[in-house]
Amino acid sequence: MTAAHHSVVDVIRTKRDRGELTDEQIRWVLDAYVRGTVADEQVAALLMAVLLNGLDARELSTWTSAMIESGERLDLSALSRPTVDKHSTGGVGDKVSLVLAPLVASCGAAVPQLSGRGLGHTGGTLDKLESIPGWRAALTNEEIVAQLESVGCVICAAGAGLAPADRKLYALRDVTATVESIPLIAASIMSKKIAEGTAALVLDVKVGTGAFMPDRERARELARTMVGLGTAHSVETVALLTSMDTPLGRTAGNALEVREAEAVLEGGGPPDLVEVTLALAGEMLARCGIHDDPAARLADGSARATYRAMIAAQGGDPDAELPTASHVRAVPAARDGVVRRLDARAVGVAAWRLGAGRARKEDPVSPTAGVVCVRKPGEVVAAGEPVVELHTDDAATLEAALAALADAIEIGDAPAAAPLVLERVAV
């Protein structure tokens, strides 16, 4: 039996028996895994032990450091602007990044939004922007730094060199039912955000039916864990818990969401989307010591000008017509009344079935597919009027999307008002 095999079994056994791993054990096992000298099945066993028995604050900080050290770190120290980023845990209709990055940049910060693609019922920011003709997600580190200096913001794919341990661990968690572990989620998110070199970070942790964490208690624990990790790695971090029982804005789907984000940048757009965006913008500007009014930057067009410059810098045509779906099917209200509930998860699943999302990382997505929420909770509707519209280029997807919405819409007599920003988590 090799020494490596022997020590990985010791690491698994320690965590299996609820022991604490030493810093050395954690660094060794993650490094060996990335180099390929520890097998998938052994790390799978370790991940399950972590899911069941947890990691304490020291173990988690070391685990996250080891993930960061598995690759390169982006060096943003030469920039003339203070750096701040935002990460959302994902929801339905969450196109906040498209507005927020250029908005905060227009106030004088540098916003390095290294984003991901959608999986399942939550959409990915890169998939949304790829519905703009010519826009590209893949940039070199040099291009990222240059664009942050010239435009002030970038939304692009995280390069393969950033926290490569995370990619391997994430794929393994996906197929071993170990995704739900709060320490592993926190390490995955924060290793990438710390490696991207930002000095400050604001987390948007979604809570509700359409969120990755439907339970508020667990969402709060995730927020606290991530804020603690950021702080331990000298990144000034704060989190907002925001509601995701209803889709954010009126659209879920790629080009549909870009169009809606552009409406906000033009000074309009849905009030709920504006409210969440401004709450996060205020936190981001406070973190990097900028005293400016983000609402004024939306009103005077400077956020829109920054957005257009960002799209153009990445090869996109900010004036191009966005694609639209060839089939639109309305889902009518069953009775007169006020919309009391429009379930975010069901809307997300419907958009996914229409072609807006993917089941596997390799799957293509449709730029035109998605759901438009014609009426939202609190709004009056008459029987037969549309509550939502389904958009797709493939009529064969409509039935499955309709089935996803079977119990999603509730119409009653009195409005159900719910706050959007639920609480703030800081050190």
Q: Active-site residue 166, yes or no? A: yes
Q: What is the dihedral of CA 154, 155, 160, 164, to 10 degrees?
A: 100
pLDDT value of position 2:
61
Pick from 251, 253, 249, 255: nearest CA to 397: 253
Q: Is the pLDDT of residue 359 over 80?
A: no
Phi-psi region of 27 (alpha: psi -120 to 50; beta: other; left: phi over 0): alpha
* Range list for CATH 3.40.1030.10 in the chain: 84-159+195-313
Q: Is the pLDDT of residue 199 over 70?
A: yes
Set 86, 121, 192, 304: catalytic member: 192
Q: Is the pLDDT of residue 99 over 90?
A: yes
- φ, ψ of residue 408 to 5 degrees: the values are -85, -20
Is the Cβ–Cβ distance between 231 and 195 less than 8 Å? no
Pick from 243, 158, 259, 161: nearest CA to 208: 243
* Range list for CATH 1.20.970.10 in the chain: 3-54
Q: At what angle do helices 164-175 and 182-195 cross, to 10 degrees?
A: 150
Q: How many whole angstroms separate alpha carbon 96 and alpha carbon 86? A: 10
Set 173, 308, 345, 391: catalytic member: 173
Q: Active-site residue 121, yes or no? A: no
Q: Tell me which CATH code domain 3-54 carries.
A: 1.20.970.10
Set 166, 204, 245, 343: catalytic member: 166
pLDDT band at 4 (very low <50, low <70, confident <90, very high): low
Query: pLDDT tens, 220-246?
Result: 999 999 999 999 999 999 999 999 999
Set 188, 191, 243, 366: catalytic member: 188
Q: Measuring CA to CA, how many Å separate 142 from each of 75, 121, 138, 241, 248? A: 10, 33, 12, 34, 34
> Per-residue pLDDT averaged across 374-385, rounded?
96
Pick from 112, 160, 142: nearest CA to 310: 112
Retrieve residue 98's tokens.
Answer: 């498209």
Q: Active-site residue 206, yes or no? A: no
Q: Active-site residue 188, yes or no? A: yes
Determine what percent of the chain is predicted with pLDDT higher than 90. 89
Report the predicted TM-score, pTM, of the whole model to 2 decimal places.
0.94
Query: pLDDT tens, 64-78?
Result: 999 999 999 999 999
Fold of 84-159+195-313: Pyrimidine Nucleoside Phosphorylase; Chain A, domain 2 (3.40.1030)
Is the Cβ–Cβ distance between 308 and 258 less than 8 Å? no
Q: Is the pLDDT of residue 3 over 70?
A: no
Set 81, 87, 206, 375: catalytic member: 87
* Range list for CATH 3.90.1170.30 in the chain: 327-412
CATH 2.40.160.40 for domain 327-412, yes or no, is no
Q: Is the pLDDT of residue 56 over 80?
A: yes
pLDDT band at 177 (very low <50, low <70, confident <90, very high): very high
pLDDT value of position 122:
73
Is the Cβ–Cβ distance between 254 and 371 less than 8 Å? no
pLDDT value of position 116:
80
Q: How many whole angstroms separate alpha carbon 367 and alpha carbon 269? A: 20
